[in-house]
Structure 1
Amino acid sequence: MYCIIALGLALVVWPGVLRHAEPWGLAQGVVKCMLTAFSLLCIIGIRYPLQMLPVLIWEMIWKTLWLLLVALPAWRTGQMDEAIIATAFECAVAIIIPLAMPWRYVYAHYIQKTGDRWRAASAQML
């Protein structure tokens, strides 16, 4: 999963990041930088797949939210434009993430496992 994402972003995003002729606008700059950072985290995920699971969980959650809160209402009201359709397609590709997710591990380590104590961690840092 990490490899697919990293390769896809390397082909789509990185060329525009490495060679852009004019300055980006605010929204475009945020998106490009976040996608670049995400691709780098996915490269780390290839080496440390279980430790980087929160990155895949984040990806799955934000894309699901976008589809439910932006694309679905636009579709219901007949206001789907080309930009929403393109983004919906890009987000729908994330359907493969839950198929590749080690759900037993996620449940055991992020739901069932006791969280770290904050006080003990801060005392050790001093």
Structure 2
Amino acid sequence: MYSQRLNKIRTYLLQFIYLATAVSVGFQAWREILMPEGTWDPIYGVTYSVWAAYALLMLLGIRYPYKLLPLMVLQFLYKLIWVVGVYYPLYTSGKPAGEELFLSWRVAILVELIVIPWGHFYTSYIKGFLKKSAIKTQTSG
């Protein structure tokens, strides 16, 4: 009973994160795409195109929260990589930039770390991949 209730709460939290991401990222990305200010550098255009597509896929996560866990893990990983690989070196070098982003992302990273069902993710995505990789190695060797 407790486990079912916990799973229901986790599902609702996942759906909320999918929705919040779709709205926040999607609003900014689609606004830039539909009402650009001048011409874009190609990389800038790619960035907003990826974010717009990402936001649309996050909407699917509301309906299929466990099937689209890789999107949630992607979100967790890019934030974590940014904090460790971009923010931390800037901070330790005495050139703190991105402080506001860091403050919001450290909360998001913690929430995602708690909400993502890591056991389910491992069982559904990693375990099968590792088995297939091991079988491939044994048959090709």
Give me the TM-score of the superposition, normalised by structure 2.
Answer: 0.70
> For residue 11 of structure 2, what is the aligned residue in structure 1?
none
Change in CA separation of 1:87 and 1:28 when aligned onto 2, cut-off 3 Å: farther
Greater relative contact order (Cα < 8 A, sep 6+): 2
Change in CA separation of 1:70 and 1:35 when aligned onto 2, cut-off 3 Å: same
> For residue 18 of structure 1, what is the aligned residue in structure 2?
34
Aligned-partner Cα distance in 2 for 1:42–1:111? 21
What is the aligned counterpart of 1:62 among 78, 82, 85? 78
Aligned-partner Cα distance in 1 for 2:91–2:34? 35
Aligned-partner Cα distance in 2 for 1:31–1:87? 17
What is the one-letter code of the residue matched to 2:99?
Answer: I
Question: Are residues 1:104 and 2:119 paired?
Answer: yes
Aligned-partner Cα distance in 1 for 2:99–2:42? 22
Change in CA separation of 1:7 and 1:32 when aligned onto 2, cut-off 3 Å: same
1:94 positional shift: 2.9
> For residue 2 of structure 1, what is the aligned residue in structure 2?
18
What is the aligned counterpart of 2:50 among 23, 34, 52? 34
Structure 2: gaps (5+ residues): 1-16, 137-141
Deviates most, 7-16 or 45-54 = 7-16
Aligned-partner Cα distance in 1 for 2:39–2:118? 42
Which one has a larger percent helix, Structure 1 or Structure 2?
A: 2
Contact 2:26–2:56 (Cα < 8 Å) also in 1: no
1:55 positional shift: 0.7
Alpha-carbon RMSD: 2.2
What is the one-letter code of the residue matched to 1:109?
Answer: S
Alignment of 1:71-82 (within 5 A): 71-81=87-97
Q: Percent identity of the aligned residues?
A: 26
Aligned-partner Cα distance in 2 for 1:111–1:49? 17
Aligned-partner Cα distance in 2 for 1:43–1:66? 24
Deviations 1:97-126 (A, max 9, x none): 2222122211322333444888xxxxxxxx
Q: What SS class does the counterpart of residue 36 from structure 2 fall into?
A: coil
Give me the TM-score of the superposition, normalised by structure 1.
Answer: 0.77
1:70 positional shift: 0.8
Aligned-partner Cα distance in 2 for 1:60–1:33? 20
